[in-house]
């Protein structure tokens, strides 16, 4: 037997089958490790930060070249896996940025995106209004358009990553876990039924549950917040508000609102990116509030006048998992030489999944 074939294969256990954990497990498997992926309710479940139908994918990140390059790589990898798995995740309908008085971030976005090899257009408010007459551009000084951007299917993509992981030889366990440590190492994670799952190394990608899962108070670096999402119905036969005639959009006003038209005929999605109150992802009821619905309706009436009075089709409560500064947390767990943490998606991490993995 050769030394190479006799070498012991590392066993890595990944906790969390969302966008960060699922892709990480898949790439570790492809790198030659034995990988066990664990999740309490399954990939893309309704409690998770990677659940729901859709996520915006866009490259605009101001002057932050690292994030822009990660998005450029993620776009290539999303397309690669669409071909490999014969499934569709990416809908490149474009993303329109509506810019108000505070535009330094948007100005810095243009050269950074172009340096990454992605197209981006600078539009006057007048030109944007001609292109998209279904939008009222009052208060918008100018606009950006990313033609290669758009939206991703969320829950369906998480399921596909798990299917690919299993097909390539990975192992999946659906169970809740807690960490067991011994000295400077994680000795294993205890599953719901009491068994100890051991491995050589551990990666914790538990999303909003990192707050309670991580040892020694490290969970303070992840704060789940309650976020509400609404889907409105356009007039029968009116195609101005489907994804063939309108891109996904991000509105930089007093607060940041965003939306996706069409959603594969799901409805006209509207959400406020403002961080909501603290949220318990396990036990909290997910009933939307009258206050947030009223605010969404008022915004819709102002920015998309033809949708004034549009019926509410669906409403969901999800959560962000915020880090203190909105950046991702990717590092070794302090004091534990065989454990890593990947989290802090902060509402914008899903798109990066394949690149981070």
For residues 344 and 206, give the distance between their C-alpha atoms in angstroms, rounded to a whole number: 10
Query: Which helix (H) or strand (E) segment is 110 a member of?
Result: helix 104-115
pLDDT of residue 13: 98
pLDDT for residue 80 is more than 70: yes
pLDDT of residue 254: 82
DSSP, collapsed to helix, strand or coil, labels residue 165 as helix
Total Cβ atoms within 10 A of residue 254 = 11
pLDDT for residue 149 is more than 60: yes
State the pairing for strand pair 11-15/201-204: parallel
Residue in the block written with tokens 């998606």: 345
pLDDT for residue 216 is more than 90: no
Largest CA distance in the chain: 73
pLDDT of residue 219: 81
Categorize the per-residue pLDDT at 1 as very low, low, confident or very high, splitting at 50, 70 and 90. very low
pTM: 0.95
Dump pLDDT digits (tens) for 282-329. 999 999 999 999 999 999 999 999 999 999 999 999 999 999 999 999
pLDDT of residue 196: 95
More confident residue, 175 or 219: 175
pLDDT of residue 220: 85
Output b/e per residue, 278-287; b: 16+ Cβ within 10 A. ebebeeeeee
Per-residue tokens: 254: 């007093």
Q: What separation, in Å, do the N-terminal and C-terminal C-alpha atoms of the chain show? A: 32
248: Cβ contacts below 8 Å, ≥ 6 apart: 56, 58, 93, 94, 95, 96, 149, 150, 151, 258, 259, 260, 261
Query: Which helix (H) or strand (E) segment is 354 a member of?
Result: helix 353-356
pLDDT of residue 217: 74
Categorize the per-residue pLDDT at 200 as very low, low, confident or very high, splitting at 50, 70 and 90. very high
Mean pLDDT of 135-146: 97
Categorize the per-residue pLDDT at 2 as very low, low, confident or very high, splitting at 50, 70 and 90. very low
pLDDT of residue 284: 97
pLDDT for residue 3 is more than 50: no
pLDDT of residue 155: 96
Dump pLDDT digits (tens) for 81-111. 999 999 999 999 999 999 999 899 999 999 9
Mean pLDDT of 124-130: 98
């Amino acid at each position: 037997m050769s030394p190479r074939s006799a070498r012991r294969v590392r066993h890595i256990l990944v906790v969390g089958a969302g966008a960060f954990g699922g892709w990480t497990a898949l790439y570790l498997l492809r790198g030659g490790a034995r990988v066990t992926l664990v999740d309490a309710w399954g990939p893309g479940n309704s409690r998770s930060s990677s659940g729901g139908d859709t996520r915006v994918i866009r490259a605009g990140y101001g002057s932050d070249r690292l994030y822009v390059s990660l998005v450029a790589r993620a776009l290539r990898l999303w397309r690669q896996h669409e071909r490999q798995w014969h499934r569709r995740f990416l809908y490149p309908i474009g993303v329109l940025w509506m810019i108000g008085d505070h535009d330094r971030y948007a100005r810095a976005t243009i050269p950074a995106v172009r340096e990454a090899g992605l197209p981006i257009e600078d539009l006057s408010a007048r030109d944007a209004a001609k292109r998209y007459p279904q939008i009222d551009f009052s208060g918008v000084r100018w606009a950006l358009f990313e033609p290669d951007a758009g939206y991703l299917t969320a829950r369906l993509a998480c399921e596909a990553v798990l299917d690919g992981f299993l097909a390539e030889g990975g192992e999946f366990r659906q169970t809740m876990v807690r960490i067991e440590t011994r000295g400077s190492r994680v000795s294993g994670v205890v599953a719901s039924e009491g068994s100890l799952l051991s491995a050589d190394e551990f990666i914790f990608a538990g999303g909003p549950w990192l707050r309670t899962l991580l040892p020694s108070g490290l969970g303070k670096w992840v704060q789940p917040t309650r976020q509400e999402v609404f889907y409105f119905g356009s007039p029968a036969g009116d195609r101005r508000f489907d994804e063939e005639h309108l891109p996904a959009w991000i509105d930089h006003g007093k607060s940041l609102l965003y939306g996706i038209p069409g959603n594969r005929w799901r409805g006209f999605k509207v959400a406020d990116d403002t961080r909501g109150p603290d949220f318990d992802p396990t036990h909290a009821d997910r009933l939307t509030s009258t206050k947030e619905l009223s605010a969404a309706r008022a915004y819709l009436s102002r920015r998309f006048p033809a949708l004034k009075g549009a019926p509410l089709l669906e409403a969901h409560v999800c959560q962000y998992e915020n880090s203190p500064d909105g950046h991702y947390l990717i590092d070794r767990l302090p004091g534990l030489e065989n454990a890593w943490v990947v989290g802090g998606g902060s509402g914008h991490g899903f798109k990066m999944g394949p690149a981070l993995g």
